[in-house]
Chain A
Amino acid sequence: EPEVTQTPSHQVTQMGQEVILRCVPISNHLYFYWYRQILGQKVEFLVSFYNNEISEKSEIFDDQFSVERPDGSNFTLKIRSTKLEDSAMYFCASSAPSHTDTQYFGPGTRLTVL
């Protein structure tokens, strides 16, 4: 069964450094998403992406964040200058264009900012 994959599974970085989190969505999906979950808190939406542009973003997704689909298979989330409060699990999801838009999530990347 096709699934969303994410790399790395765990990323440790120093405050102020740039990180890139990578995702490979399900191959025939056209909509891509990033969510995050700070330890012990809810899963929060960051951004959705379709047709090479952002379709929706939350207030969390500020100028420090960017997304890109650099090729036909990868979808990336870049955090330009990490802060301690960026430490969280980051989940990528994808969905196919359909009337129900079921989103399928990857296993997540645990980002630890020191």
Chain B
Amino acid sequence: DIQMTQSPSSLSASVGDRVSITCRARQSISSFLNWYQQKPGKAPKLLIYAASSLQSGVPSRFSGSGSGTDFTLTISSLQPEDFATYYCQQTYSTPFTFGQGTRLEIK
């Protein structure tokens, strides 16, 4: 199985801040990396697929980058609705594994 590791595990930030979350794969996964947002008690939401493609309807302040083993999700200017937990997922090989999550909290 391909292990996915996110950093940091938690992050405090303020509205308007620029934040980045990193996801690292134990082996190369090309660009087969997705990012999801989940709020407590809600369904996860797809933000970014194929490392850098913005899912339809997702605000442009979200962006993704990277390839191989290192990937980044960036939120350019945090909004109140962005405080949530974020997960990366590789779909390079089965089982399609997820990172442990990064909890983004209000400072």
A and B together in one complex: no
Give the interface of A toward B (CB within 8 A): none
